[in-house]
Structure 1
Amino acid sequence: MRVERLSRDKIRFFLSMDDLMERGIEKEDMWQDIPKVHELFNDMMDQAYRELGFEISGPVAVEVFALPAQGMVVVVSRGRTPSRDELDDLDGDELYELEVTLEESDQVVFQFADFEDLVQAAGSSYRLIGSGGSVYAYRDHYYLVLDTEMEAETLQKGIAVLSEYGEASTYTGHVLQEYGKTIWDRDAIGEIVRYFS
């Protein structure tokens, strides 16, 4: 589980499939109000406090983005901080109230430390997943964004190959389009293979 600060009142977690499996949580469980999901959220908030000094009390907005075959991105935003009198009136179980939004992404995003890793990943995955995708440069990394409109088994195998060279990213394709530099906006894997293999 990775956590990063987005702003003073907003943080983002990336939960891999392994993080969820270790806790016995399926993606579908995130839609339910069950104890193991509450325990996961409490663990996340403990980690956010330890690593970033991020404390919550009062209203909290939680956005959960399911990433196909990769895990989940969870964005937590603090609302207004309750007054001391309001805190005194709450018992320990009511320290925060959640407003949860759930979405499923139709994209897979991988980040690569350098361009050579991206070239290797494209070459190794080309025969399996074809020539699609977009590539962006952002914050000293390269990002490959793939649509998930392919057979589930092909997608799983493609993700396994890409994982050998990079890692799943917590950024969405929309963030990369907005803030990153577009290298290839379509057919990225095919273009990389054509020029660099």
Structure 2
Amino acid sequence: MRVERLSRDKIRFFLSLDDLMERGIEKEDMWRDIPKVHELFNDMMDQAYRELGFEISGPVAVEVFALPAQGMVVVVTRGRTPHPADLDELEGDDMYELEVTLEESDQVVFQFHDFEDLVQAAVSVRHLLGAGGRVYAYRDRYFLVLDTDMELNTLQQGIAVLTEFGEPSTMTEHVLAEYGKTIWNEDAIGRIIHYFS
């Protein structure tokens, strides 16, 4: 489980499939008001406090984005800090109120530290995933965005191969397109192989 600060009142967690499996949590469980989900959220908040000094009380908005064959991204946004008199009424597990929304992504995004890693990844997954995809450069990294309209087993094999060269990213294509530089907006894997291998 990785956590990063997005702003003063917003943090983002990346939960891998292993993180969820260790706790016996399925994607659908994130909607349910069950003890293991509360325990996961408490663990997340403990980690956010230890690593980032991020503390919550009062209302909290939680956005859950399911990433195909990778896990989940959870964005936690702090609401207003309650008045000290209101804190007297809140006890234990009631120290925060959750508002949860769940979205499922139909894309896989991988980041690569250098261009050569991206080239090697493209060569290795071409036979599995075809010539598609889009590539962006952002913050000294390269990002490969793939649509997931393929058989789940093929997608999982492709992700396993990509993981040898890069790592899954919580970055959305909207952010990459707006703030990054578009290298290829279609057929990225095919073009990388055509020009660089």
Equivalent residue, structure 2, for 1:47: 47
Residue 101 of structure 1 aligns to a residue in which SS?
strand
Matched-pair identity in %: 82
Q: CA RMSD in A?
A: 0.7
Aligned twin of 2:98: 98
Gaps of 5+ in 2: none
Q: Distance in 1 between matches of 2:92 and 2:19?
A: 27
The separation in 2 between residues aligned to 1:170 and 1:123, in whole angstroms, is: 23
CA deviation after TM superposition for structure 1 residue 153, in Å: 1.3
Range that drifts further, 72-81 or 83-92 = 83-92
Q: How does 1:1-197 map to 2 (within 5 A)?
A: 1-197=1-197
- For residue 89 of structure 1, give the secondary structure of its aligned residue in structure 2: coil
In structure 2, give the amino acid aligned to 1:188: A
Task: State the alpha-carbon separation in 2 of the partners of residues 120 and 93 from structure 1.
Answer: 48
Separation in 2 of the partners of 1:65 and 1:161? 23
Give how far 1:145 is off.
0.3
How many pairs align?
197
- TM superposition score normalised by structure 1: 0.98
CA–CA distance in 2 between the matches of 1:117 and 1:196?
12
User: C-alpha displacement at 1:125, in angstroms?
Assistant: 0.3
CA separation in 1, counterparts of 2:74 and 2:146? 20
For 1:87 and 1:32, locate their aligned partners in 2 and report how far apart those are by CA, in whole Å. Answer: 26
TM-superposed deviation, 1:46: 0.3
Report how far residue 139 of structure 1 moved.
1.2
1:54 Cα deviation from its structure 2 partner = 0.3
Deviation at 1:93, TM superposition (A): 2.1
